[in-house]
A = this chain, B = another copy of it.
Amino acid sequence: MSLKYIRENLAGKLRAHGINPTHQRLEIAHALFSRCEHLSADQIMAIVNERHSETSKATVYNTLNLFLDKKLIREVIVDPNKVFYDPNTSPHYHMYDVESGRLTDIDAAPVRVSGLPSLPAGMVTEGMDIVIRVRPADFPH
């Protein structure tokens, strides 16, 4: 599976979500989807501009918000300082290592949650986030 192949897939993926696949958008999508990690905006900008500065901060944010809007990626809010962007849009939850800041996926399929109250009238669920905060056993509390 060549890089070219990945990129062509990416362009199709963007189009499938109604996004015009420009050069910068492909770069950013590639950063997110090639390594399947949770990245923050500044990490993405660093990756995209590794060789030589090609993409501005404004574009990175524009693009990420566009991707969010078109439901190509998800936003994970666990750290008060920054948002993580998650290329995995299948139902899943997260485990957050508070020491290292590392974020791991938890498949939602086997998870069952019961005993939740019913929603207030006129409200609908957008989604449910579960974050398990963990730390190394020897980490100074």
Contact = CB atoms under 8 A, between A and B. Distances in A.
Given A80-B83, A111-B116, A115-B110, A134 B125 contact: yes
Interface residues of A, number: 38
20 contacts: A77-B78, A77-B80, A98-B126, A106-B117, A110-B115, A111-B113, A111-B115, A112-B114, A112-B115, A113-B113, A113-B130, A116-B132, A122-B137, A123-B135, A123-B137, A125-B132, A125-B133, A126-B134, A127-B132, A130-B130
Given A112-B115, A127-B132, 20 more contacts: A77-B77, A77-B79, A77-B80, A80-B83, A106-B116, A107-B117, A110-B115, A112-B113, A120-B134, A122-B137, A123-B137, A124-B134, A124-B136, A124-B137, A125-B133, A125-B134, A127-B133, A128-B130, A128-B132, A131-B131
Given A75-B80, A116-B106, A123 B136 contact: yes
A97 interface: yes
Contacts of A50: none
A40 to B, nearest CB: 11
Contact of A134 (B115, B119, B135, B136): B119
Contacts of A123: 97, 134-137
